[in-house]
Amino acid sequence: MKTIQFLPDNVSIEVEEGENLLAAAARAGVYVNAYCGGDGVCGKCKVAVESGEVESGKARLKNDDYAAGLRLACQSRVKSDLVVRIPEAMGKDGKALKRKPAATRTISARSLDQLIGDWHLDPPVEKRFLKLDPPTMENNIPDLQRLMRAIRQDCHDCKEPTFDHPDLLKELPFTLREAGWQVTVILLKGRRAEEPARIIAVEPGDTTASLYGLAVDIGTTTVCGMLVDLNSGKIIAEASAYNDQISCGEDVISRIVYSQRGDGLRTLQGKVVRTINNIIETLCKTVIISPSDISYIMAAGNTIMSHLLLGLDPKFIREAPYVPTCSHFPLTKAAELGVLAHPSVRLFLYPAVASYVGGDIIAGVHACRMYKSPELTLFIDIGTNGEIVVGNEEWMVCAACSAGPAFEGGGIRHGMRANSGAIENFHIHPETLEPMIITIDRIKPCGICGSGLIAIVAELLNAGVIDPQGKFNRSLEHHRIRQGEDGWEYVLAWGKDALLGQDVAISEVDLDNLIRAKGAMYAGYQTLLESVGMDFADLDRVILAGNFGAYIDLERAITIGLLPDIPRERFFYLGNGSLLGCRVSLSDNQRFRERMLVSELVTNLELAENAQFMDHYMAALFLPHTNLSLFPTVAKTR
């Protein structure tokens, strides 16, 4: 780790060697004039490196400036401990404008190992290479019995496996003879320890080196995939894509409605299968393997996504008393759904709890072992369908609230997923009101991702550009605050500084969508805690899961009222808990079997018709909240 001291703010931060200097300043809460997202074209982010070494070119710098130690922060990477001086902005009167470093703090992954614990490499499928004795007139037992005998000889303490599919028998005699009686069997272990394994495939030759598992998080907005080498337990590739079902509706309710129209259910199933297949093809191209090398798929999604993947009608999930077709989904052949993989591959879906609390939340709780911890924990998965769990090893209560797609870029005019060019961090000068923009991959900005949205709203609020209702301060005369096509807006990047050549802005409509999304989440926490006679002060820890949370700024999330205002050391970041749970289950069959403990402990609380939830929701439609006493540290800054 390297230490950077920023002057004149006298703020220090520890970073990894090779960290981008502009991104480091943003994380430290130090304002640097930067319009182009880190692309190096605006030339505004000049800083003086007073001591230490950075790796940087001379782009946009005069030779004299470079010789004097000036560097473009966005084009500089940290090589050693540094002392960096940020030039002071000057006002029209020639005096230096005041600087106010922001109090920022990302949620640390410091305790990820502590949360998820160790697991043993014992995947639910295994491959065994066998050399069978060819049949003779003296030894002409049937091919299947010959294979079974070879398996018993290879694994003396194993129970005799079973088989359950006639297609295996149809191909078995030809496979054995064409392979010269040297084959690899794929065995699927029993769901319970006492159950024998099942033979699901027989492959010619020795294919034991190619044993891969796929973990899939089927999100309402985004589908994520992770390819795991089951021989080593290592992640070898990751990919994600928008769920193709978005064209049929942005949230789960609109998709249920769509499923009831004509061939809507089949269309929705086809779209999510196509999305999964696109991810599989991307993953396989990355590591140069075939989809047929994938031997097992672990998937998790909310209840509606799981129903739609399996082609189950979700009609009654939407109607009171909100009943799904099932909560424990059958082990399914992936090929029967149209998913690209080995023809024998099984697809397992994590069980759901209720209509709006699905396998994704169970996978997350399973991954972080909340069901084994005595600490009172609030588990939050922020997404289009926000899901919340509170409890410990003795009991757990869960609920879901439709937050909408704002945190994943939906419903925001310039919103986007966390892809290259998305604004992921933002600061605003308290006097000039000029922006500091950081984008993913340090290129020109083209949109706003979830973490960037939180940063932008918090900064605009603290600078007085917007009020607690999310309305722009009309009295400010500034060229970036203007009347736009969606009402008043703040221009984050002018077209000349943006990737697509058009202005990137945030409007009051965008702000309203964010406020409603964060209000639903906060009201869900309050309602769930009050249902068990507790409040935020009783929590030992808060575990935050979800795709966009990797770079969420803790202080800013509290500033806008998305997270509760409690001691910061109680917050932990899990990442994509759904994907992590699938990975753990892919790698460790014993941990996989424990998933039932989670679903048995969890009790669901319906918020859809809960009057208390609606009261809390209305009170939370404010930045951060109508009751500022719930946010004491934020109140001190007002």
Selected residue with higher pLDDT from 600 and 109: 600
Lowest pLDDT segment from 111-115, 576-580, 626-630 = 111-115
Q: Are residues 198 and 333 in the same domain?
A: no
When pLDDT is cut at 50, 70 and 90, the band that residue 94 belongs to is very low
Question: Does residue 109 have a pLDDT over 60?
Answer: no
> Does the pLDDT of residue 93 top 60, yes or no?
no
CATH of the domain at 146: 3.10.20.880
What's residue 105's pLDDT?
55
239 & 283 share domain: yes
Do residues 83 and 33 share a domain?
yes
Let me know whether 216 and 200 are in one domain: no
Boundary residue ending a domain (165, 186, 204): 204
Run of H or E including 28:
helix 21-28
**What whole-number percentage of the chain has pLDDT above 70?**
94
Least reliable range by pLDDT among 13-17, 368-372, 377-381, 417-421: 417-421
Answer with the one of 360, 389, 422 that is the final residue of a domain: 360
Mean pLDDT estimate for the chain: 89
* Pair 185, 224 in one domain: no
Q: Is residue 106 part of a domain?
A: no
**pTM (2 decimals)?**
0.83
Last residue of a domain, one of 360, 387, 407: 360
- Which CATH number covers residue 29? 3.10.20.30
* CB 35 within 8 Å of CB 497: yes
- Three-class SS of 439-498: EHHHCCCCEECHHHHHHHHHHHHHCCCECCCCCECCCCCCCCEEEECCEEEEEEECHHHC
pLDDT the model gives residue 248: 95
79 and 199 part of one domain = no
SS3 state at 537? helix
pLDDT at 183: 96
- 162 and 289, same domain (yes or no): no
- What is the distance between the alpha carbons of residues 51 and 595, in angstroms, rounded to a whole number? 53
Short-list 289, 290, 316, CA closest to 304: 316
**456/441 Cα distance (integer angstroms):** 18
Of 90-99, 243-252, 289-298, 618-627, where does mean pLDDT reach its minimum? 90-99
My answer on whether 256 and 352 are in the same domain is yes
**Averaged pLDDT for residues 135-154:** 90
The answer on 263 and 145 residing in a single domain is no
Read off the CATH number of the domain in which 349 is found.
Answer: 3.30.420.480
Whether residues 347 and 322 share a domain: the answer is yes
For 521-540, the pLDDT digits (tens) are 999 999 999 999 999 999 99
Residue 11 burial by CB count (10 A; 0-12/13-18/19+): exposed, middle or buried?
middle
Whether residues 177 and 243 fall in one domain: no
- Residue type at position 325: T
Mean pLDDT comparison of 50-64, 94-108, 323-337, highest-scoring range? 323-337
Within-domain flag for 150: yes
Q: What's at 134, amino acid-wise?
A: P
Choice between 38 and 623, residue whose per-residue pLDDT is larger: 623
Q: What is the pLDDT of residues 228-255, one digit of tens each?
A: 999 999 999 999 998 999 999 988 899 9
pLDDT at 57 over 50: yes
Q: Is the pLDDT of residue 129 over 80?
A: yes
Same domain, 319 and 225: yes
Give the structural domain span for 221: 212-360
Judge whether residue 62 has pLDDT over 80.
no
Number of domains, the chain: 3
